[in-house]
């Protein structure tokens, strides 16, 4: 690639082949193992919705309302199969304009007006899957994903706010980022695309897709994310500081610091 002057372009050529199909397969198996959970998740709210009379979804006096509201958040801390999103007063369609207004008032200062944060510690949120945004906000609020900074902001949001903000962010266009370290980025590319076979580390591409766009709704978009943020999350998963994803904890627990820096740098330039 002698004509290639900028590391990120060389490293991220779309024609790069995935080097380790076997470890991709491992990732696919891991991903598939989460599916029954998802199905359960989808099925769980059904009985509650069916028993609620059709004309009471906006009535706070409905007996299903208060009880669902009190059991919802508690259930979230115990089990990912009972998301608070099933609250009967949750809106059926997200209001993007309301989401934009809410976001502009509180969140834009740190995450950027269009979700393309400029500060390496504050994650880019533009073009992220709305369901993933909602999950994180619920878990900041409940404490399942501890964050001294985000817990307070998330605590002020209703379920409707979360859904609206997620819908707004999902529509924003992510700006591409840059890989910085030419040496490390190659190690990062190997890990991202092929995993590390002999240590049973699955390819990131298997769940987050080869171009880092993620796979809605469960697997978040990673491409273009600040390397500092991605690295901090991988360390947090590994060290149990972010315990909201057993899958990621398992993967990150096998990565050393150098590998974390490398794959995070590669992700920053991925497009
Ligand atoms: C003072 C700065 C600040 C403000 C204001 C702020 N955030 Fe954050 N946000 C952060 C930081 C820092 C993190 C990373 C937290 C961590 O390390 O886990 C974060 C993480 C997040 C994440 C997780 C992203 C991911 O990829 O997992 C979401 C979603 C989010 N914020 C949404 C919001 C929303 C919505 C608001 C407004 C209600 C908001 N933030 C306000 C600083 C801020
Ligand atoms: C088996 C599927 C799977 C594989 C393989 C996988 N991930 Fe993930 N990853 C996830 C899921 C699911 C989440 C979302 C966790 C949550 O809901 O909080 C995630 C979240 C993340 C996050 C946090 C994103 C954010 O915005 O905060 C990072 C960073 C990440 N993964 C990096 C990686 C890297 C690097 C690899 C490869 C070494 C990898 N992942 C492999 C499933 C996977």
pLDDT tens string 187-203: 999 999 999 999 999 99
**201 beta partners:** 196
Domain identity same for 159 and 186? no
Residue 40: inside a domain: no
Neighbours of 44 (CB within 10 A): 15
Structural contact between residues 271 and 224, judged by C-beta atoms closer than 8 angstroms: yes
- Top pLDDT among 45 and 264 is at 264
Domains in the chain, number = 2
Q: Looking at residue 240, what is its pLDDT? A: 96
Average the pLDDT over 228-239 and give the result.
Answer: 98
Q: Which three-class secondary structure string do you get for the chain?
A: CCCCCCHHHHHCCCCCCCCCHHHHHHHHHHHHHCHHHHHHHHHCHHHHHHHCCHHHCCCCCCCHHHHHHHHHHHHHHHCCCCCHHHCCCCCCCCCHHHHHHHHHHHCHHHHCCCCCCCCCCCCCCCCCCHHHHHHHHHHHHHCCCCCHHHHHHHHCCCHHHHHHHHHHHHCCCCCCCCCCCHHHHHHHHHHHHHCEHHHCECCCHHHHCCCCCCECCCECCCCCCCHHHHHHHHHHHHCCCCCCCHHHHHHHCCCCHHHHHHHHHHHHHCC
Structural domain harbouring 257: 25-32+176-269
Read off the pTM: 0.77
Instruction: Assess whether pLDDT exceeds 90 at residue 37.
Output: no
Same domain, 162 and 220: no
Ligand 1: which of 146, 150, 239 to mutate, judged by most atoms within 8 Å of the beta carbon?
A: 150
Same domain for 98 and 152, yes or no, is: yes
| 194 C-alpha to ligand 1 centroid (Å) | 30
Res 91: pLDDT:
52
- In the prediction, which pLDDT does 92 show? 72
Kindly state the average pLDDT of the residues 218-239. 98
Ligand 1 atom showing the smallest separation from residue 165 Cα: 35
> Euclidean distance between the first and final Cα of the chain, in Å?
19
Average pLDDT, the chain: 78
Phi, psi of 215, deg, nearest 5: -130, 110
Q: Is the CB of 136 under 6 A from ligand 1?
A: yes
Question: Same structural domain for residues 150 and 181?
Answer: no
Question: Does residue 55 register a pLDDT over 50?
Answer: no
Q: What is the mean pLDDT of residues 8-28?
A: 44
Do 147 and 192 belong to one domain?
no
Q: What's the average model confidence in pLDDT over 32-50?
A: 39
CB-defined site of ligand 2, < 6 Å? 27, 30-31, 123, 135, 191, 201-202, 204, 206-208, 218-220, 222, 230, 233-234, 244-245, 247-248, 251, 263
Residue 196 backbone dihedrals phi, psi, to 5 degrees: -125, 100
The residue whose CA is least distant from atom 27 of ligand 1 is 136
Within a domain: 149: yes
Across the range 151-169, mean pLDDT stands at: 98
Say whether both 190 and 265 belong to one domain: yes
For residue 158, tell me if it sits in a domain. yes
pLDDT band, very low/low/confident/very high, at 87 (cuts 50, 70, 90): low
Q: How far is the CA of 114 from the centre of ligand 2 (A)?
A: 23
**More confident: 248 or 24:** 248
C-alpha of residue 219 to centroid of ligand 2, in Å: 7
Residue 191 CB: number of other CB atoms within 10 A? 22
181 and 265 fall within a common domain = yes
The CATH number given to whatever domain includes residue 252 is 1.10.760.10
Q: Is the pLDDT of residue 117 over 80?
A: yes
Q: Is the pLDDT of residue 251 over 70?
A: yes
For ligand 1, atom 2, which residue shows the shortest CA distance? 110
Closest residue (by CA) to atom 17 of ligand 2? 245
């Amino acid at each position: 690639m002698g004509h290639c002057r900028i590391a990120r372009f060389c490293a991220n050529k779309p024609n790069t082949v995935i080097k380790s199909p076997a470890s991709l397969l491992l990732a696919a198996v891991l991903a598939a193992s989460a599916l029954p959970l998802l199905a359960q998740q989808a099925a769980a709210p059904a009985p509650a919705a069916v028993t609620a009379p059709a004309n009471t979804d906006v009535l706070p006096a409905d007996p299903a309302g208060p009880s669902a509201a009190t059991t919802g958040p508690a259930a979230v801390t115990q089990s990912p199969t009972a998301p608070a999103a099933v609250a009967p007063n949750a809106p059926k369609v997200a209001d993007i304009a309301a989401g934009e207004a809410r976001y502009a008032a509180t969140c834009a200062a740190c995450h950027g007006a269009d979700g393309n944060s400029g500060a390496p510690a504050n994650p880019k949120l533009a073009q992220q899957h709305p369901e993933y945004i909602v999950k994180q906000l619920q878990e900041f609020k409940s404490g399942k994903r501890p964050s001294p900074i985000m817990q307070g902001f998330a605590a002020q949001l209703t379920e409707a706010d979360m859904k609206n903000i997620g819908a707004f962010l999902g529509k924003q266009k992510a700006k591409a980022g840059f890989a910085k370290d030419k040496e490390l980025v190659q190690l990062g590319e190997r890990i991202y695309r092929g995993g590390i076979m002999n240590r049973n580390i699955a390819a990131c591409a298997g769940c987050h897709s080869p171009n880092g766009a993620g796979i809605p709704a469960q697997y978040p978009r990673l491409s273009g994310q600040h390397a500092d943020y991605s690295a901090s999350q991988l360390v947090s998963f590994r060290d149990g500081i972010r315990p909201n994803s057993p899958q990621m904890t398992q993967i990150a627990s096998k990565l050393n610091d150098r590998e974390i820096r490398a794959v995070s740098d590669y992700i920053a330039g991925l497009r």
